[in-house]
A and B are shown apart, each in its own frame.
Chain A
């Protein structure tokens, strides 16, 4: 695991992040940004020139996992944008890292861009932008692999709430001839880079929620009594919880492996896909173990389930899985008939 020259480890960030996020309860998104920025959590991986800590991605993982505290703030997107924008748009990056400005990303669909003088005009529709109604800036995909940073208040931008996530509502973004400065159009190759960095943070966020769900299920199974026993007395419940523990540890190990120096796209994809698959199973399983209580609004498992489903869709887990299969098959040569 990575460690700084000062002996700081990613684990040190976990407790700090959990405390900072707990302190955000009841604050508006903008107040949360200022508090988290003040705690140095928004620029963990951003460069020092924009006020960040310039630490390896491993240090952002516990921060992303702590967002399982159901923070109503686009923490993953903020972590990613602080770093992404530090070279092309350092002023915006600095504001995001400090918490003075808020930003998010529309994860699905893409807009088209047309040059118009020294401006660029965007049109189209992009989806799944967490907390878009509470931010100043919005990154959208442009074409196949470019991206553009759009002021949310720009003329022609309309937002429509959608999705299941309660604490961090997603929005569909319509762009109707939205004019932006040319420098806000980021070059080809930006989008795949962003998606690649997002995979592990998304896996970490899912892990945080899955861990919270398993802890609630375990607590419930140990304290709720039926037929004269705690629920955990029953083998069916014990085995279900054991399977969820296997899923959780599988996510954790896959994330750790994806952070090794020599880790490739395959390891990052595997971390997210394992998280998406096991995360849904763990949260749905936790709901089931709670019985009728699990279906109530007050028991927060549904909030985590909603968050995990949103993260799964933002990363297009099913599309990624299919693409991984096609790519894997394409890379293998047919068996040599001579060898056969």
Chain B
């Protein structure tokens, strides 16, 4: 069966499986259907093209493995957050490519679910899950990176039309996206957090220009997006100004704790891959037996278990109807720094491999060079380390800033 032909497992579709049976079904489906060439721990690895990624993610959706918790009326599967966790654990356990539409599935979609009109939910949400629409996030600007309250892109209303002018930057995936979740200002810059509004801007609208930025890993995912007198229909405004942004902030807090929930299990997959590859080479296997590296690998294991504990606690809190608040910053801070430490360890170990490289070491080196470079962004995106520390100090410890 090809990826395109992969169909939803009938038992999963009928919602008949729970707990471990459900996990095993998900595991089997992923292992059977994920092409070897998409697995970065395989010698056959060849990064999927955009079209292949779209087909694969659409197949995952048909199999019931994305849009897990979204209502069925909007293309979701109406499952619980615990089942979402199970699917993420299984996704993480495979060296699978990241979604090309994570902004749509994990940011725009939940925001639209929270504040969108019924018409918007029906128009946007199934298209996201079916991979007909890829979304990007237009929040950061040249003068407003972490400090979103300082953003300058303006949206001015003229009847049923909003006219948008400004510039966004670090907009990952804009060149491949159909829609941009745009944050713009309806009043003066001095209003700071007031007057911010969200829009679902079609990127093929006249006046939108996208320019890619090459990043340190050689990829051109980052983009600058320019808006010059871009007209956006009122039907593409998400929530009212102020109201929309406040709701979005609440969604963002949950997302910080729950998005890419598979990270801890992918981290574990990476650690296991590193060790299994090193074991095929006598020199590297000798290093693994060295107590110095045993301790550093064990520290990574503890880091991973702590990350799992943060994620599972967040799920428990949300399932019990509690609020995550700023606590997503704890998991993000821990994960990003722990993963950077691990990437450094992986590069250090693999750099000691004798020549010629053993085939498995070559595969690992290709994967971990990419992981190392990508990890340098992990303490920057989704709120830098410094921003996360500030959030913890301000909102969790409630330390006074005053004199």
- A residues neighboring B (CB under 8 Å): 218, 221-222, 228-230, 232-233, 235, 238-239, 241-243, 245-246, 249-250, 253-254, 256-257, 266-267, 269-270, 273-274, 277, 318, 321-322, 324-326, 328-329, 332-337, 339-340
Contacts and interface: CB of A to CB of B under 8 A. Distances in A.
Contact of B399 (A241, A243, A321, A339): A241
Contacts of A228: 403
Contacts of A245: 330, 392, 396-397
B359 A337 contact: yes
Given A233-B401, A270-B305, A277-B302, A242 B362 contact: no
18 contacts: A229-B403, A232-B393, A233-B402, A233-B403, A257-B309, A273-B298, A322-B294, A325-B301, A329-B294, A332-B275, A332-B276, A333-B279, A334-B285, A335-B363, A335-B364, A336-B360, A339-B43, A340-B358
Those 4 A-B pairs whose CB atoms lie nearest each other, nearest first: A325-B294, A325-B298, A270-B305, A253-B309
B55 interface: no
A232 B301 contact: no
Given A242-B389, A245-B392, A337 B302 contact: no
B273 interface: yes
A245 B333 CA distance: 11
Contacts of A239: 386, 389-390, 393
Contacts of B306: 250, 253-254, 270, 274
A257 B308 contact: yes
Interface string B370-392: 00000000000000001011101
B350 to A, nearest CB: 13
Interface in B264-284: 272-273, 275-277, 279-280
Nearest to A221: B399
Given A232-B399, A239-B390, 8 more contacts: A233-B401, A242-B392, A245-B330, A257-B309, A270-B301, A322-B295, A332-B272, A339-B43
A326 B296 CA distance: 11
Contacts of A328: 275, 297-298, 301
Nearest to A326: B294
Contacts of A269: 302
Main secondary structure of the interface of A (DSSP, over half): helix
A254 B305 contact: yes
B296 A230 contact: no
B37 interface: no
Given A239-B386, A249-B330, A324-B298, A340 B43 contact: yes
A30 to B, nearest CB: 39
Given A245-B392, A328-B298, A222 B272 contact: no
Interface in B344-373: 358-360, 362-364
Contacts of A229: 403
B388 to A, nearest CB: 8
A333 to B, nearest CB: 6
Q: Max chain A CB contacts within 10 Å: which of B41, B272, B386, B397? A: B397
A117 B389 CA distance: 66
B299 interface: yes
B400 interface: yes
Contacts of B294: 322, 325-326, 329
A20 B23 CA distance: 45
Given A250-B309, A325-B296, A328-B301, A242 B397 contact: yes
Contacts of A322: 291, 294-295, 298
A246 B297 contact: no
A339 B393 CA distance: 47
Nearest to B273: A335
Contacts of A267: 305
- Which secondary structure dominates chain B's binding surface? helix
Contacts of B330: 245-246, 249-250
Interface centre among A235, A250, A256 (most CB of B within 10 A): A250
A270 B42 contact: no
A324 B364 CA distance: 23
B3 to A, nearest CB: 20
B393 to A, nearest CB: 4
Contacts of A324: 298, 301-302
Nearest to B385: A239
Contact of A256 (B302, B309, B389): B309
Given A222-B399, A329-B294, A332-B276, A238 B360 contact: no
Contact of B312 (A230, A243, A257, A318): A257
A337 B280 contact: yes
Contacts of B403: 228-230, 233
Given A232-B399, A253-B313, A332-B279, A242 B393 contact: yes
A285 to B, nearest CB: 13
A218 B288 CA distance: 41
B341 interface: no
A250 B331 CA distance: 9
Contacts of B359: 337, 340
Given A218-B397, A233-B401, A329 B392 contact: no
Contacts of B401: 232-233
Contacts of B363: 335, 340
Contacts of A256: 309, 313
Contacts of B388: 242
B310 interface: yes
A230 B402 CA distance: 8
Nearest to A239: B389
B334 interface: yes
Contacts of A336: 360
Nearest to A250: B306
A8 to B, nearest CB: 18
A335 B276 contact: yes
B305 A321 contact: no
Nearest to B399: A232
Interface in B309-331: 309-310, 312-313, 327, 330
Contact of A230 (B285, B310, B327, B400): B400
B289 interface: yes
Counting chain B CB atoms within 10 Å of each CB, the highest count among A246, A256, A336 belongs to A246
Contact of A321 (B273, B293, B299, B358): B299
A321 B300 CA distance: 10
Nearest to A251: B306
A171 B139 CA distance: 61
Given A329-B288, A332-B276, A335-B279, A246 B298 contact: no
Contacts of A243: 389
Given A239-B386, A256-B313, A329 B295 contact: no
